[in-house]
Chain A
């Protein structure tokens, strides 16, 4: 019998609805779910091909244990016994766990609880470190919270958009849809991006095509123009912010010509953008990795938030800085405390959070000091458990990541495919995913939606939470991990994480489009707009930030004359684990490529399809050239989806000191045509 089952797309964090068509327990197709408020029946190419990866031939189906150098099939008991005996040998802070932006909140909650309660360390992180850690570091001091402050639905209410380092037409198409709707009503779109992306071309009314990594210079120039022309929102600055005098002094001393020299953007365009944004009734800022992934990522975000504050673009539907999460649970895994400095609900390590959770969990000696951030954890732990994340593709400077992972006393990889990281594991555990299990996710705008189990997992694959609980029990902590279903875990989450208190499984089943946290009570509708009365800072005010421009860590020179930047394509997803196993997406872009400007291509004797070796100080990779005006002269763009042309083999592992974000977006590179 044919049945249509509702679910939410497994790709980015928009949280679009789809119907899966089921026949005899197998998914045989998918159909538009027109009632879903986020996508109204439309999906992007990935969303239209959402389920095929589940049936890829190389799904992990049994535990694997490395014996005589080879991964061989093993039973769950065998794997559990080995893991337990090894982990019992781990010394203080020798253990680390990398969680996933793809797991459910229930999985993530159990993962951090295991790390803290059983292993007594705050060494728990997830891929959020690599995409939005600069958001937390930038927005925390400025407005007090690093979440999207509005509802996605309200994006279309804006009459001016500032898109900074984001290419939504490829990475968040449902947001582009709303921008297009706003444009029909006359909204202006300002695009800040070094690349002439499809977003810049099709949405942009003005494109500030800046030199990579010079966002702060452009944003400071915009603020200076706004103050010079007195189009700032004086009332908002007066009543809702603090630090204006220092900001004014700082901006007064800035030289617009110098800013132009640094960024390469014509001052007249910056002026146009500044005026549009300042005078907008509803100014919406969407930003992403192009701003975040720099050693100055958190600075850029502070400056951008300050720009929104002095123009009063905060606290109303459609306004404010919207960080765009790339993973279905990019928000939720962080909410659950899979971060080295946060207990669940962003209760900060070192502020007494451990004492609170000792009471809540009925345990003693919870760790009170921050754990290691993602990349340091790879380097410094002896026992590492990697769940649904693929640092062998995602972390910068892969050759060194490989050395570090090979040196581990114990490397457990829990995933759905034999990923590049799983190839190095001592133990591989097969996980069930998406509609093979039940649980909730928090999507980009804090929108909590539930995924129901629709099909059986392959082979002996198990839900992440179940695997963790089994190990916890064997490590002697049954009392704290005595969960028999995700629903039981969720009830504990509701008790321990206040913003989730009013959300129940039953409410989620009956609320198409989910509920936006914070939701303090079961009769509370959820919160779509933040900061309407005050900011989440201790004094409730927006703290205007003074930020100086600093250049990226590694710029071109005679030996490495081009800038390399990395990013994504609409047809693929992150490290390619899912999308490259989806035949239609694979057919669109079957192999690794890089973009080069026609003038540079001529200079280097490169044509479309030429195989080229790209070399940085970290190493070399080979990729096929796409000659296109999408990149300006001097810039090379390399997507990071492809293991055969692994971008992160050659990216620079230097970190933003404020948050541990690697500078994926700029390093120096040279090119040689392959022989």
Chain B
């Protein structure tokens, strides 16, 4: 089911000037702050103006919002962790959170684990076709684009091209696939990501579908009542103007989304196939060889937006694992896998934080894809759908076979319920 769609524009000329599309997100946030509907806005901001150092920030003054306008493709701020770890999961304040699809999905998973209070959050999702690690981006700008990374003022990923705009107004664009084949381009997890439009947020905002507009606009899909009310009120109060997109515009958005999804499937095939082609003992050997590089820094656990235990089982003080050993017992990565693989939202933060370059995101998303098939579960999409490894269905309890085929049980159940409907 799709929500109500808008082509929106900020009513503030200053915002329009700085914004990449219609500036509607910045003005919606301003509306929320000025009217006291939220206590703060969580978004990413280029630290000291540095595009490669985008960090999560809590903004409480409307005037500061303008600094966070525009997207940062070459930063990888961990928004959901910021909300969970440093803002007490929004348990005591009302927040608007702006995030990429994976950020929003992580927040929804955290709600399932009761680590945040979604009632206090307005989720403003941004379309995303991927981000680039800052070190990779800078090297790529020097090696391939032949530009000084400090002179880049904007990037965009569109129709298979990576485009950069420089201080002097010139632009350069290169074929993204070719860059990625050379090891540049987007992060691995982003290449494989098929979720570009965050329709599970309250609002899904982006510029797809606005290409034919004479004046730049923001395409907004209100995916919840909360989202729709927000847009309507902001229009009413004059913070934004909006019209309904025509069919052509909606179709364009769909086509762009589909093209990116197809590309993601290609990358999945490329990344997963060599592993799946290995026989099981070789596959095990491959992973054990990777695990043996682990130096037990806990960086993956700490970066994981879904992990939340205050006193983690894997800590040396718990006595579950022998302390002081590297590599730690294989139980270390496997426990992490058991705890969060079903909920993995493919944000890639674990792999980014790994000092030994372990292909963690690949492992988690590969396993997650398998689990999805079995349980028909997609993490971070629907707050009412419980994660399968923690929600046992009655049918599972009644089966005595340890090696039960859950996937066929699920399918049988689904067909039963659809017949009932």
Contacts and interface: CB of A to CB of B under 8 A. Distances in A.
A41 B86 CA distance: 19
Given A34-B352, A42-B354, A2 B324 contact: no
Nearest to A509: B48
Interface in B322-355: 323-324, 326-327, 352-355
B355 A587 contact: no
Interface in A201-257: 202
Interface string A20-44: 0101000011011111110111111
B298 A45 contact: yes
Contacts of B52: 35, 512
Contact of A43 (B135, B138, B297, B326): B297
A484 B261 CA distance: 60
A11 to B, nearest CB: 12
Interface string B15-36: 0000000000000000000000
B86 A32 contact: no
B82 interface: yes
Kindly name the residue among A39, A42, A180, A198 whose own CB sees the greatest number of chain B CB atoms within 10 A: A42
Nearest to B295: A173
Nearest to B296: A45
Interface in A527-542: none
A494 interface: no
B356 A198 contact: no
Interface in A549-607: 569-571, 583-584, 587-590
B326 A589 contact: no
A48 interface: yes
B285 to A, nearest CB: 14
Interface string B222-245: 000000000000000000000000
Contact of A174 (B56, B134, B324, B355): B355
Given A2-B82, A37-B135, A202-B292, A587 B323 contact: yes
A40 B353 CA distance: 8
A40 B133 contact: yes
Contacts of B138: 35
Given A2-B87, A34-B135, A571-B324, A173 B78 contact: no
B310 to A, nearest CB: 13
A35 B55 contact: no
Contacts of A176: 295, 356
B297 A44 contact: yes
A511 to B, nearest CB: 10
A41 B56 CA distance: 15
A170 B326 contact: yes
B133 A570 contact: no
Contacts of B133: 34, 40-41
B396 interface: no
Nearest to B322: A588
Given A35-B134, A48-B298, A29 B356 contact: no
Contacts of B353: 32, 41-43
Nearest to B82: A2
Interface string A512-531: 10000000000000000000
B250 to A, nearest CB: 36
Interface in B265-308: 292-293, 295-299, 302-303
Nearest to B52: A35
B47 interface: yes
A195 to B, nearest CB: 14
B148 interface: no
A549 to B, nearest CB: 33
B53 to A, nearest CB: 5
Contacts of A142: none
Give the secondary structure class of B's interface.
loop
A447 B60 CA distance: 38
A587 B315 CA distance: 8
Interface string B86-117: 11000000000000000000000000000000
A463 to B, nearest CB: 25
B50 interface: yes
A181 interface: yes
B323 A589 contact: yes
A512 B355 CA distance: 18
Contact of A169 (B56, B57, B324, B326): B326
Contacts of A45: 295-298
Interface string B388-405: 000000000000000000
A36 B86 CA distance: 23
A32 B85 contact: no
A127 B292 CA distance: 33
Nearest to A33: B53
Nearest to B139: A37
B316 interface: yes
B86 A21 contact: yes
A248 B75 CA distance: 55
A19 interface: yes
B294 to A, nearest CB: 10
A632 interface: no
Interface string B352-392: 11111100000000000000000000000000000000000
Contact of B55 (A4, A512, A569): A4
B179 interface: no
Interface string B55-73: 1111010000000000000
A40 B86 contact: no
Interface string A151-170: 00000000000000000011
Given A42-B354, A198-B327, A29 B86 contact: yes
Given A48-B297, A202-B293, A587-B317, A39 B134 contact: no
A198 B326 contact: yes
Contacts of A37: 135
B76 interface: yes
Given A587-B317, A588-B316, A589-B324, A23 B295 contact: no
A568 to B, nearest CB: 12
Contacts of A275: none
A528 to B, nearest CB: 14
Given A31-B78, A48-B299, A588 B324 contact: yes
Contacts of B55: 4, 19, 31
Nearest to B300: A42
B220 to A, nearest CB: 28
Given A34-B76, A587-B317, 20 more contacts: A2-B86, A4-B56, A6-B53, A23-B86, A31-B78, A34-B75, A34-B134, A35-B50, A35-B75, A36-B135, A42-B299, A42-B353, A42-B354, A42-B355, A43-B353, A48-B298, A173-B297, A587-B316, A588-B324, A589-B324
5 contacts: A35-B53, A173-B355, A587-B316, A588-B324, A590-B323
Interface of A: 1-2, 4, 6, 19, 21, 23, 28-29, 31-37, 39-45, 47-48, 169-170, 173-174, 176-177, 180-181, 198, 202, 512, 569-571, 583-584, 587-590
Smallest CB-CB A-B distances: 6 pairs: A42-B355, A589-B324, A35-B134, A587-B316, A587-B317, A4-B55
